[in-house]
Amino acid sequence: MTPSKDITRLIEIMAALRTPGTGCPWDIEQDFASIAPYTLEEAYEVVDAIERGDLADLRDELGDLLLQVVFHARMAEEQGAFAFPDVVEAITRKLIRRHPHVFGDIKDLSPEEVKNLWDTIKAEEKAERRAARETMGHMPEPHEAGLLGGIPTTLPALTRAQKLTAKAAKVGFDWPEAVQVIDKIHEELEEVKEASSSGQKDRIEDEIGDLLFSVTNLARHFGIDPERALRRTNAKFERRFKAIETALGERDRSLDEASLEEMEELWVAAKLAEREPGPTS
């Protein structure tokens, strides 16, 4: 077996890995549920490579993500459900249907009109899929019903909150202005303060959840992805904390030996250093 740029080779390799008796024992014992966490992890690693601007790494991570698709398709094929070509056919059919302004007779649409058309077609597909599942005896779960149905519960909480509020906003259930959301955040923060004095962990958790939900709603009002914003802040925290460690090391001191005041001083220095303009040519 040799490497190849042909997708067929990847499908053949996956089939060989899953073949009882001659394949890989680990691959053979996997199922959809056991592989799902790896699928999610690989998707996040793709995003990480993009945000780092590392195209060489992105190439490898996209390959790892593609492997997950092939892996799931192979397991489905073994059960007689569908195979990889069916996955390709499904997505090509969906793309053609959702772009009648490219592949059909509808022309000269504005970006907003394209978005509205996309939403309409998605709603039609959702209704058709629900009807087909009901015909097969698969009744919808409670979380799949209604306007907010269909938003996966396994999404990161910030992303799911953003999608929930976006769907509700489509029928007018939304703050008209961002400043009203900011006022709501102040209100929720006060409720966190009140809950903290009670010492009741469940109540505090509820109020912090409300606060995070409101902050996510504010991000949506500004067209900002809250997950991406928080990832950027995480990276910023890591950079500045690393700067504290480095500065302490230059003083022959460890984090355990440093006082909070000293670490705060170094944090501010790292923060200011990031704001300094770089050399110009």
Q: For the residues 57-68, what does the mean pLDDT come to?
A: 96
Q: In the structure encoding, which two tokens stand for residue 204, read together?
A: 């505090």
Please tell me the distance from the alpha carbon of residue 57 to that of residue 59, in angstroms, as a whole number. 5
Read off the pLDDT of residues 166-212 as tens digits, 9 standing for 90 and up: 999 989 999 999 999 999 999 999 999 999 999 899 999 999 999 99
Q: Quick check: 119 pLDDT over 90?
A: no
Read off the pLDDT of residues 200-241 as tens digits, 9 standing for 90 and up: 999 999 999 999 999 999 999 999 999 999 999 999 999 999
Q: In the structure encoding, which two tokens stand for residue 98, read together?
A: 């959702």
Q: For the residues 93-106, what does the mean pLDDT come to?
A: 91
Please tell me the distance from the alpha carbon of residue 41 to that of residue 27, in angstroms, as a whole number. 17
Put simply, whether the predicted model's pTM sits higher than 0.75 gets the answer no
Residue 144: the pLDDT is 61
To 10 degrees, the CA torsion angle through 130, 136, 140, 145?
A: 20
The fold of the 157-224 domain, in CATH, is Helix Hairpins (1.10.287)
Lowest mean pLDDT among 76-90, 138-152, 164-178: 138-152
Question: Tokens 């991570």 label which residue?
Answer: 61
- Helices (H), ranges, the chain: 7-17, 25-29, 32-52, 55-78, 84-98, 100-103, 111-135, 157-169, 178-198, 201-221, 226-250, 260-275
Residues in Cβ contact with 188 at an 8 Å cutoff, skipping those fewer than 6 apart: 207, 210, 211, 214
Question: Tokens 């799949």 label which residue?
Answer: 144
% of the chain surpassing 90 pLDDT: 72
CB-side exposure of 200: number of CA atoms within 13 Å?
9
Write down the architecture of domain 7-144 according to CATH.
Answer: Orthogonal Bundle (1.10)
The boundaries of every CATH 1.10.287.1080 domain in the chain are 7-144, 157-224
Residue 280: the pLDDT is 45
The sign of the torsion formed by the CA atoms of 10, 16, 19, 24 equals negative
Read off the pLDDT of residues 23-53 as tens digits, 9 standing for 90 and up: 999 999 999 999 999 999 999 999 999 988 9
pLDDT band at 152; cut points 50, 70, 90: confident
